[in-house]
Amino acid sequence: MAVRNVKEEAQVSAVREFNRFYTARLGLLRKRHLDGDFSLSEARILYEIGASPGLTASSLRNTLGLDPGYLSRCLALLARRKLVRRATSNRDGREKLLTLSPAGDKVVAQLNEQSSLQIQEMLAKVSAADRAILLDSLSKVRSILSKPESVRIVRLTKSDDDAHRLLQEYYEAVNVVLRDTPQAIQSIIDDSCSGVWLAYLEERAVGCVLLKSLTSIPFAGECKRLYVQPAARGHGIAQKLLDAQEDFARVNGLHWIYLDSYDDLKVAIALYRKRGYVACERYNNNPQATVFLRKNIRHRS
């Protein structure tokens, strides 16, 4: 164990030493990126929006790994400077679509030119052979560090703090009026034909879904509380949660899974339809629901 700790400490030290060298070499520690008018974070935000017009704030946050509050303040500042435009998404009213204004496009073009010149000057001092080695090494570093994070789906046998935390986040995100009590969640877990699943991304609980027995309809269950934290989206977690739920329901003799939603949740509704859910009659008295769907799960799709 001691040998391994010494080895790991040396590895960590080597990476940190390279980080110090590279950040200083590129001038990333300066208050303003490329000695211009923007911090490195602001410049990178502008670049990402320019490269992917119409991306959402949550997608941008996932890409850059920024704190939500800090990103919100940066976007507000860039909007006040009339460089970034924000419009409400037609698919999901909770999301803002980000684009650059003409002034923002001009700024990004200038930043790209300055950055390219900086790297060009650096590479001019490197031989052709060393450039090839450098580029190959950079490619390998990116490949190694970009390996996808592992996702694990678990059906709970007992309610826990992670489940309550994620459910509370879900309630707040979609303004749920009729909320499950801790006792109700435990009763769903205890029901042999129901269940609560949590998704873990690198051992962090980041998503959930429930399956409730639907006693009013034979051989049917109800999908509830599908939620994935914004920072964890992009890993197919919602799909994996629904796969686990449907596999369990099928093994336990269910033929149908029903669900309700409401019109503003366009992204979620699109996901359900893609998975084979179709419109059906209202089957409950949920006052918030405006959309009712069901899926025949007797055969794997």
Closest C-alpha among 238, 270, 274, 276 to residue 256: 276
Query: Alpha-carbon distance 115 to 219, whole Å?
Result: 61
Annotate 207-274 with three-state secondary structure: EEEEEEECCCCCCEEEEEEEEECHHHCCCCHHHHHHHHHHHHHHHCCCCEEEEEECCCEHHHHHHHHH
What residues are paired with 212 via a beta bridge?
Answer: 222
| Residue range 262-296, pLDDT digits in tens | 998 998 999 999 999 999 999 999 999 999 999 99
Q: Rounded to whole angstroms, how far apart are CA atoms 296 and 275? A: 11
Residue 117: beta bridge partners?
none
Q: Give dist(CA 223, CA 147) in Å, integer.
A: 32
Question: CATH number of the domain at 31-145, please?
Answer: 1.10.10.10
Q: What topology does CATH give the domain 151-296? A: Aminopeptidase (3.40.630)
Domain boundaries, the chain: 31-145, 151-296
159-189 pLDDT per residue, tens: 999 999 999 999 999 889 889 999 999 999 9
Q: Is the pLDDT of residue 235 over 90?
A: no
Residue 195 clears pLDDT 70, i.e. is over it: yes
pLDDT digits (tens, 9 = 90+) for 79-117: 999 999 988 776 666 677 899 999 999 999 999 999 899
Mean pLDDT of the chain: 89
